[in-house]
Chains A and B, each alone.
Chain A
């Protein structure tokens, strides 16, 4: 027993201060929210649009460049291929949004996720129980969602908890493109959650299908199947991106 206490002291404290404290530092090579500088674009250039593996980039008739971070795998192929450095990836992990449209980075100002209505906030703001449904991805989103339970993020301190049964839950957090073989199980789990309930789509797969977009064996994410209240982009999203999104949804972070 003494050894356990000694080890506990040696291991030290590791819980991050976010959101009260300073923003945690991310590695220099981390690819967060993309920054577009369309002023640098060459007329008619479509290099970045063509190298993107999942058609996240588009350039319309007015020549405006748009990047859909709901589809983006953050592979940086666009950044590397651009002859004019018009695209770069910042180290900002705050990317979750409340509507699918807000995930499209373009000339318009960014809109981060906003809090639920005051009624739902009254219900969920202090205690949010989520059932996680893994629906056909690669397990990386699940792993980094699990990380929220470690002492580093300590999700419990915000009153958020992952529970074992949908009957105990206020909503579901979905990962994966929703394989056809998981479609029924996902819908049944959603049905089992008592109303009012929320849906969180985590990762490029759950939002739009990820690398498996348009495969016959998948449903291109949960967006087509259920009403989504929070979109958390990334492939996979950094645990901080998920945490930030959940806290914004509950009105715990406002700025």
Chain B
């Protein structure tokens, strides 16, 4: 196809001027048909006009068959025909564009606020007239139903546990959830806007805190994008250490989630063991760089800390021991009928729906979707040391738990393989100058799923736009669909099985 002539592999960049520009109707058609043919919509955003130009709508797509990424753009005026009408997975992207720039996707089913902030352009907003005068977090139209025994349950933004803020509105018939609506935006702290004009000395810290539990994932996506822009090749040893850190992050979070899922069904042995073991994995990351979340490790050009023979052996030894204990702790789950009774056939998403919603990560793989950035768009060490995709077919809480367990096993194997064959040489190189007038895309399979960073640079190589798509951005609607027709008491376990990020979504 002509649109794909400028395709590149992950991570990569092309000159902004080379990006195929087309008419909005054609872009719309290409995106819709592309996704129907199995391409992934990685990002959809608006690049605001510069000096009397026109706003442009950008779509970033990934073609799994050819392992190539491609970008399209189309000029838009104040509105354009909505893509969501034909492609529900574009729903949140279009709401975001409307909220940020006041560019309205016409016929979009429901343009609710995403993060409850004012429009980036004064006097230019998509909400009904007067609405922005009192734009309050969580104040929006919620779905209604009427009848005997129909009632609403409102939860949040301050929750009962130690978790991030969000507001959930359950529409119930007795104890059965008819529908759950999610209002996020409470964690909005203006990160994407603060990145414009960068990179500067604070940029890497924004990346490491986009979502604290995905410090390595987001920092890596950023560094890959920067390296694509400066044509920098990270030395093999640096690539290996990055991959080890990324898998350690996955191990800690997956183990913690399995423990929390056990806790949510009242099974305390696994909950207690896994809570502790999660910390043991975090302490391995701290051995690498001093910080349990991996802060300070990933830097443009490579990694900031090396691993000597002694430390590598120590990590290898501890990892094997922790893994054995995780195996014992998780094994109890699969043997306990009362746990399985709560896990199985709860919160089911079938494969068709998962594709329609554009789910990513373990939530998608639990429905039988074989998609993993590490395999489908491999970068760095994953090109040389492949890792197997973990899938299951049930699409329920059990499936999402089981896929995590499979991934734990494979990540441990992968790390051991790398630790035993660490390439020699330097861990980092000078990343060099960032090219101007370009657009770069970088993908990483974080523990929650596909992370996509898109950067547009100005002529001087400064960030003109920085777009972050956290996997949660794709998956929140999945949770809302999963709890339909479930008992309201099963919401916590469904929620935990998705384990989504609020801050990664709110930015």
Q: Is the CB of B206 within 8 A of A145?
A: no
Asked if A77 lies at the interface with its beta carbon under 8 angstroms from chain B, I say yes
What A residues does B276 contact at CB under 8 A? 11, 14, 150-152
Chain B neighbourhood of A17, CB < 8 A: none
* Closest-CB distance, B146 to chain A (whole angstroms): 29
Q: Which residue of A lies closest to B190 (CB)?
A: A217
B423 within 8 A of A: no
Q: Which of B162, B191, B332 has the most CB of A within 10 A?
A: B162
Q: Which of B285-293, B350-358, B361-369 contacts A (4 or more CB under 8 A)?
A: B285-293
A211 touches B202 (CB 8 A): yes
Contact A236 B212 (CB under 8 A): yes
Once the chains bind, are A150 and B279 in contact (CB under 8 Å)? yes
Instruction: Tell me the minimal C-beta distance from A250 to chain B in angstroms.
Output: 20
Which residue on A lies nearest to B215, using beta carbons? Answer: A140
Least Cβ–Cβ distance between B247 and chain A, in angstroms: 18
Q: Is A227 an interface residue (CB 8 A)?
A: no
| Bound complex: CA A102 to CA B211 (Å) | 30
B194, CB-defined interface residue at 8 Å: yes
A226-B435 Cα distance, complex, nearest whole Å: 46
Pairwise interchain contact B206-A211, C-beta atoms closer than 8 A: yes
Q: Is B275's CB within 8 Å of the partner chain A?
A: yes
A179 lies within 8 A of B291 (CB): no
Residues of A within 8 A of B501 (CB): 139
User: Would you call B305 an interface residue if the criterion is a C-beta within 8 Å of the partner chain's C-beta atoms?
Assistant: yes
Q: Which residues of A contact B208 (CB under 8 A)?
A: 138
- In the complex, the answer to whether B162 meets A27 with C-beta atoms within 8 Å is no
Asked if A116 is at the interface (CB within 8 A of a chain B CB), the reply is no
B189 in contact with A143 (CB, 8 Å): no
Name the distance in Å between A68's Cβ and chain B's nearest Cβ: 16
Write out the residue numbers on chain B whose beta carbons fall within 8 Å of the beta carbon of A140: 209, 212-213, 215, 293
B279 partner residues in chain A, CB cutoff 8 A = 147, 150, 152
Q: Are B212 and A141 in contact (CB under 8 A)?
A: yes
Contact A211 B187 (CB under 8 A): no
Shortest Cβ distance from B364 into chain A, in angstroms? Answer: 22
Could you tell me the distance between the alpha carbons of A162 and B501 in the complex, rounded to whole angstroms?
A: 22
A182, B186: Cβ atoms under 8 Å? Answer: yes
| Binary contact readout B340-362 vs A (1 if CB under 8 angstroms, 0 otherwise) | 00000000000000000000000
> Which of A136-162 touch B at CB < 8 Å?
136-147, 149-152, 162
Residue of B nearest to A209 (CB): B189
A136 in contact with B189 (CB, 8 Å): yes
- B116 with A164: CB separation less than 8 A: no
List residues of B (489-507) whose CB comes within 8 Å of A's CBs: 501-503, 506
Partner of B332, one of A7, A27, A139, A217: A7
- Stretch of B38-46, B86-94, B153-161, B478-486 lying at the A interface: B153-161
Q: CB of A35 within 8 A of chain B?
A: no
B162/A134 in contact, CB under 8 A: yes
Residues of A within 8 A of B235 (CB): none
Whether, in the assembled complex, B335 has its beta carbon less than 8 Å from a beta carbon of chain A, the answer is yes
Closest to B311 in A: A28
CB of B295 within 8 A of CB of A27, answer: no
Contact B305 A29 (CB under 8 A): yes
B186 touches A179 (CB 8 A): yes
The CA of A96 and the CA of B213, in the complex, are separated in Å by: 23
Q: A136 contacts B212, CB within 8 Å?
A: no
Asked if A76 is an interface residue, CB under 8 A from chain B, the answer is: yes
Bitwise, A191-213 to B at CB < 8 A (1) or not (0) is: 00000000000000000001110
Known A-B contacts A7-B332, A151-B272; A134 and B163 likewise in contact (beta carbons under 8 Å): yes
- The 8 A-B residue pairs whose C-beta atoms are closest, nearest first, are A140-B212, A29-B290, A138-B212, A164-B160, A138-B209, A217-B190, A181-B137, A150-B275
5 inter-chain pairs at a CB distance below 8 angstroms, sorted by A residue, are: A10-B325, A51-B201, A134-B158, A137-B187, A164-B160
